Amino acid sequence: MPQRAILVFLDGVGIGEGDLAFNPFVVAHLPRIQALLGGRLPIAEHLDADRRIVSERAVLVAADATLGVEGLPQSGTGQTTLLTGRNGAAEYGRHFGPWVPTPLRPMLAAENLLRRAADAGRTAAFANAYPLSGAPADPRIFRRPAGPMLAAQSVGALTRGAAELAEGRAVASSITNERWREHLGSDVPEVTPEEAARTLARIAADADVTLFAHYDTDYTGHRGAMDGAVAALERVDAFVGALADALPADALLVISSDHGNVEDVRGGHTIHPVPVLAVGTRREQLMNVRSLMDVALAMLQALGIDGRGLSSDNGG
Ligand SMILES: [Zn+2]
């Protein structure tokens, strides 16, 4: 039984055809992810007959992100589903994004992975640094909130800002700190993806459940340029590889997404399945994940927390 779990959320990453013309996963240099997957990549051609990749170090499952709802999957409803196990798109009536629609926010706050862990007496952490201006947090950042931030807020874990980032006790959403340095005028130090990963591993070692969210993969997918998408994936590769190496021995690491996008740079979101990559203790718990609705429940079960009432019971 692991003592702890980490969910790394990557916005807008799907599993598509491995075509050199439009899929940056086959253009980028991704040695760390390939090593985790036994030489394979998160592309359709590398999935086995059960739509998985099972290697010595990892399990990768292709999870449905369409949720039985017409249209292109979106971030607000997809993140809600990933974090709660409830079908956010079905409950809202359609896919919606990029922020979490107002009617879904109470359910997200009450039923997300961090909240469920806290309700079971476990500790929860949100590793992201946010530009907070004193306490309580600046209300402007809540106007169009992303799912991970709302989940963090629901357990009082939205506590890291520039000071924590400067001290190596938080990770920037972009993994490295350039955006804080260039756009927020902050004098936080430069960090490599590997250093950011070790910071996340340290944060995770002090909590039972830790969440980190990264959004650049979706941004670069929307920009639709291969070079930007390749750079974003190579940064993620360095980060994920170092995180897997620095993982506490009792930890389960799960990396997943809300919908496809960056795996096809021809433009915008896709209906592709999303990867659910599990590394570490009890990763086999994620083996039977079939959709975004199954991830939170599988993680809670891996932690020994009764997650019943989630996922399969919600009729979605
Ligand atoms: Zn998007």
Domain at 274, CATH number: 3.40.720.10
Instruction: Using a pLDDT cut of 90, give the percent of the chain over it.
Output: 87
Query: What confidence category does residue 139 fall into, taking pLDDT thresholds of 50, 70 and 90?
Result: low
Smallest CA-to-CA distance from 90 within 98, 99, 80 is with 80
Give me the mean pLDDT over the 85-105 stretch. 97
pLDDT value at position 248?
92
Pairing of strands 251-256, 274-280: antiparallel
Which positions ≥6 away from 99 have C-beta within 8 Å? 75, 76, 144, 145, 146
Distance 225 CA to ligand 1 centre (A): 14
Query: What confidence category does residue 143 fall into, taking pLDDT thresholds of 50, 70 and 90?
Result: confident
From residue 312, give the alpha-carbon distance in Å to each of 90, 97, 229: 14, 24, 35
Distance 256 CA to ligand 1 centre (A): 15
Gap between the Cα atoms of 139 and 48, Å rounded = 46
Distance 218 CA to ligand 1 centre (A): 5
Contacts 24+ apart (CB under 8 A), 104-107: 104/76, 104/77, 104/80, 105/145, 105/150, 107/80
Residue 8 three-state SS: strand
Give the torsion sign (CA, 59, 99, 197, 179): positive
Query: Which amino acid is located at 99 in the chain?
Result: W
Give me the mean pLDDT over the 6-33 stretch. 98
What is the total residue count of the chain? 316
Q: What is the enclosing helix (H) or strand (E) of 81?
A: helix 75-84
Is the model's pLDDT at 297 over the cut of 50?
Answer: yes
Protein residues near ligand 1, an ion, with CB under 5 A: 218
Full strand arrangement of the beta sheet holding 209-214: 52-54, 58-63, 274-280, 251-256, 4-10, 209-214, 124-126
Which positions ≥6 away from 271 have C-beta within 8 Å? 65, 66, 72, 73, 260
Q: Is 251 within 8 Å of 206 (Cβ atoms)?
A: no
Q: Is 171 within 8 Å of 126 (Cβ atoms)?
A: no
Q: What is the pLDDT of residues 156-172, one digit of tens each?
A: 999 999 899 999 999 99
Q: What is the pLDDT of residues 225-279, one digit of tens each?
A: 999 999 999 999 999 999 999 999 999 999 999 999 999 999 899 999 999 999 9
Q: What is the pLDDT of residues 207-223, one digit of tens each?
A: 999 999 999 999 999 99
Residue 195 lies in domain: 4-314
Is the model's pLDDT at 299 over the cut of 60?
Answer: yes
Gap between the Cα atoms of 79 and 289, Å rounded = 16
Distance 271 CA to ligand 1 centre (A): 12
Packing angle of the helix pair 226-246, 193-205 (nearest 10 deg):
40
Q: For residue 115, what are its two tokens?
A: 């909240």
Number of domains in the chain: 1
Pairing of strands 52-54, 58-63: antiparallel
Is the model's pLDDT at 309 over the cut of 80?
Answer: no
Give the torsion sign (CA, 199, 202, 206, 209): positive
Q: For residue 279, what are its two tokens?
A: 């590394």
Distance 33 CA to ligand 1 centre (A): 23
Residue 163 three-state SS: helix
Distance 219 CA to ligand 1 centre (A): 7
Query: Which amino acid is located at 298 in the chain?
Result: A
pTM to 2 decimals? Answer: 0.95
Distance 12 CA to ligand 1 centre (A): 6
Place of tokens 């907070």: 132
Q: Would you tell me how many other CB atoms lie within 10 Å of the CB of residue 57? A: 12
Query: What confidence category does residue 137 fall into, taking pLDDT thresholds of 50, 70 and 90?
Result: low
pLDDT value at position 271?
98
Distance 308 CA to ligand 1 centre (A): 31
Q: For residue 286, what are its two tokens?
A: 């994620």
Q: Would you tell me how many other CB atoms lie within 10 Å of the CB of residue 50? A: 11
